[in-house]
Chain A
Amino acid sequence: MSAFVGKYTVYNSRARADELIKTAKYLATPGKGILASDESTGTIGKRLSSINLENVESNRQALRELLFTAPGVFDYLSGVILFEETLYQTTSDGTPFMDVIRAGGAVPGIKVDKGTVEIAGTNGETTAQGLDSLGARCAKYYEAGARFAKWRAVLKVGPAEPSELAVRQNAEGLARYALICQEFGLVPIVEPEILTDGGHDIKTCAAVTERILAAVYKSLNDHKVLLEGTLLKTNMVTPGSDSPKVGAEVIAEYTVAALRRTVPPAVPGVVFLSGGQSEEEATQNLDAMNKLEVLKPWTLSFSFGRALQQSTLKKWLGKKENVAAAQATFLVRCKANSEAGLGKHTGSGAGDAAASESLYVKGYKY
């Protein structure tokens, strides 16, 4: 490893590069995944209101405490993505969430994008914001204990979408973000998400995914991002939401083929977003991918938000007396996805009705 982080990286620090590589590798530990607990204040409000809770800080804190203190949960989680507010929050007895996560052996991460805005002149396509002062913010987050970051770029499939403009703009945004993160010690999770909205078939999703990933890696390479110190977070390749469903093996084949065509082996891990799939669907698809008998030089794992928390939320309902049961439910999902990451899922986590509930929301705004 010695020579590759000398002249041709922006940070002339071997120690910094080594830390990034080590962190990325740990996040990509086979059998572990990431809890995407970084819902913005607006978005978490939707979750809370779905169980009739007010969107106040104490409720947001209570939910996150439930998740992070679930006993043994860090056997299955290598990292937790946080929203800025949560980074500085504590448990009800005053322990910083950061300490809870690190004591569990997991790595705290931070969402750093500032949401999406429309690209004028396109048919509703978007770009992500957040580059201004990103370096300074990353430095601050590093000081607070975060060691990875996340930035979500969104693309959609349509008759003329994604346009070349949207692809390039989002790829370049991801590359700028990634380079700045690495400069300040945070492993960037690079997230190009193609929304499932639409009536397109799985082949179209595959073509679009391959096109975008090729553009993303071109931009990352042009910006000289250290690939060994990144993770990829992307959608699985599936039919559009209005199209007939296909089996997990089909999704697995198309997804792994797309990744094999675009993701260099230097990237230690690909963590999938669940994007509206039900909890059980997401687990089964991940499992099918890991069972596929083809060479995959990167770990394939999860970075789920809704697909880890849905049935947990329904069990909790905001009540203290439900916390233990909710945590048990949460553990079931984490364990199931951990097993899926090793190709060992046997479907025993499907007990909950909520686990099979589709989490798809048309035109979903994060």
Chain B
Amino acid sequence: MVAASLLKSSFLPKKSEWGATRQSAAAPRPATVSVVVRASAYADELVKTAKTIASPGRGILAMDESNATCGKRLASIGLENTEANRQAYRTLLVTAPGLGQYISGAILFEETLYQSAVDGRKIVDILVEQGIVPGIKVDKGLVPLAGSNNESWCQGLDGLASREAAYYQQGARFAKWRTVVSIPNGPSELAVKEAAWGLARYAAISQDNGLVPIVEPEILLDGEHGIERTFEVAQKVWAETFYAMAENNVMFEGILLKPSMVTPGAEAKDRATPAQVAEYTLKLLHRRIPPAVPGIMFLSGGQSEVEATQNLNAMNQGANPWHVSFSYARALQNTCLKTWGGQPEKVKAAQDALLLRAKANSLAQLGKYTSDGEAAEAKEGMFVKNYSY
């Protein structure tokens, strides 16, 4: 069992010290003004963790597929959805040699956070040894939003604080919550406000419990809309999300964002080049993201592996006020998964495929990627209509 400094928590100040900056009861209690400037016991650690994840040339490996979703992945290569198979697959991913050169954080599903690898070591420990910060998916999935236009909202706030405290003890240092917004369904004002508020509540609770919140309002790719419409909706969603977070006193130096890139809908007539995606996406970021936020880790949302890399690369052709990087699941794992096919003798080849994509995205983060030599398979789109995670 490897003990790493990331897992030590003895330096934490006592909870009784947290209230030190609040005013005494002598004067009438302020009705509305907060005098605490977002000082929580974990403030310094949150800032440090966020900065570590947002380090140059690195991004996040999203491997937090729920058991059901992981089942779909395994089924696509003819494997049964058993714990053993999920363990084998996740072991393959986290033991890829030198993965930490390109990957700064890995998002886990709850099962994986408590799992051991095939050789008995704890998966979190393997990650820490690789120089990768472990993270944890904390939302409880999407359900229909009553009163909306068939839209969804994200559950998971009940008991979130104590769950996150436990995850922190287990070694997680960041969290992730994914909500969605659908353009074909509006989006309605209600759906956008709910998405923003849920994210803000989750972010505040996460920071209170030592986890850097990754804030993910995914604007789904589904639809025939053009890039201008996506841009308009994205501006609205991020304005609402940041205001909700400000109202919840979230400390922006200790969060990360996971936006979708600004692209046309999957069924739109006109496609966009990486340069166009970059132009619109960067414009969105410049208009909505305060520079205090250390990192913006894009989701791939159904783009092909190569598309996702090219778009990221296009966004990093000039200096940005925040680290602009990736938090990819399918766009990192697809070829790796197919190469493995569940066969032990293919593990090394699969790991090589993972490292290849990780390195490509690392270069893209630095603005230095070229697509010469990319395999045809990596260019295949992975959009699934009405995709549920």
> A residues within 8 Å of B by Cβ?
3-4, 6-8, 157-164, 203-204, 206-208, 210-211, 214-215, 217-218, 221-222, 227-228, 257, 260-266, 295-297
Does B321 contact A214, Cβ atoms closer than 8 Å? no
The answer for the CA separation of A204 and B27 in the assembled complex, in Å, is 15
B contact residues, range: 35 or more
Does A214 contact B243, Cβ atoms closer than 8 Å? yes
Q: Which residues of B contact A263 (CB under 8 A)?
A: 290-291
What sequence of 0s and 1s flags, for each residue 232-262 of chain B, a beta carbon within 8 Å of any chain A beta carbon?
1001100100110011000011000000000
| Chain B residue at minimum C-beta to C-beta distance from A160 | B31
Tell me the total A-B contact number using a CB cutoff of 8 A. Answer: 100
Selected contact of B37 from candidates A159, A207, A221, A262, CB within 8 Å: A207
Q: Which residues of A contact B227 (CB under 8 A)?
A: 3
Q: Does B28 contact A (CB under 8 A)?
A: yes
Q: Does B201 contact A (CB under 8 A)?
A: no
| Chain A residue at minimum C-beta to C-beta distance from B251 | A261
Q: Is the interface of A mostly helix, strand, loop or mixed?
A: helix
Selected contact of A264 from candidates B30, B228, B286, CB within 8 Å: B286
Does B28 contact A159, Cβ atoms closer than 8 Å? yes
Q: Which residues of B contact A264 (CB under 8 A)?
A: 286-290
Does A203 contact B37, Cβ atoms closer than 8 Å? yes
Q: Which residues of A contact B36 (CB under 8 A)?
A: 203, 207
Selected contact of A221 from candidates B35, B239, B285, CB within 8 Å: B239
Does A160 contact B235, Cβ atoms closer than 8 Å? no
Does A157 contact B33, Cβ atoms closer than 8 Å? yes
Q: Does B283 contact A (CB under 8 A)?
A: yes
Selected contact of A214 from candidates B28, B30, B246, CB within 8 Å: B246
Q: Does B380 contact A (CB under 8 A)?
A: no
Does B235 contact A159, Cβ atoms closer than 8 Å? no
Q: Does B279 contact A (CB under 8 A)?
A: yes
Q: What's the least CB distance linking A326 to chain B, in Å?
A: 40
Selected contact of B291 from candidates A7, A207, A217, A260, CB within 8 Å: A260
The answer for the CA separation of A162 and B30 in the assembled complex, in Å, is 10
Does A161 contact B33, Cβ atoms closer than 8 Å? yes
The answer for the CA separation of A207 and B388 in the assembled complex, in Å, is 40
The answer for the CA separation of A159 and B33 in the assembled complex, in Å, is 7
Does A160 contact B228, Cβ atoms closer than 8 Å? no
Selected contact of B252 from candidates A218, A222, A261, A265, CB within 8 Å: A261
Selected contact of B321 from candidates A208, A217, A295, CB within 8 Å: A295
16 contacts across the A-B interface (CB closer than 8 A): A7-B232, A8-B228, A158-B33, A160-B32, A162-B32, A163-B32, A203-B21, A204-B33, A211-B33, A211-B34, A214-B243, A218-B243, A260-B252, A261-B292, A263-B290, A265-B289
Most chain B CB within 10 A, of A4, A204, A222, A265, is at A265
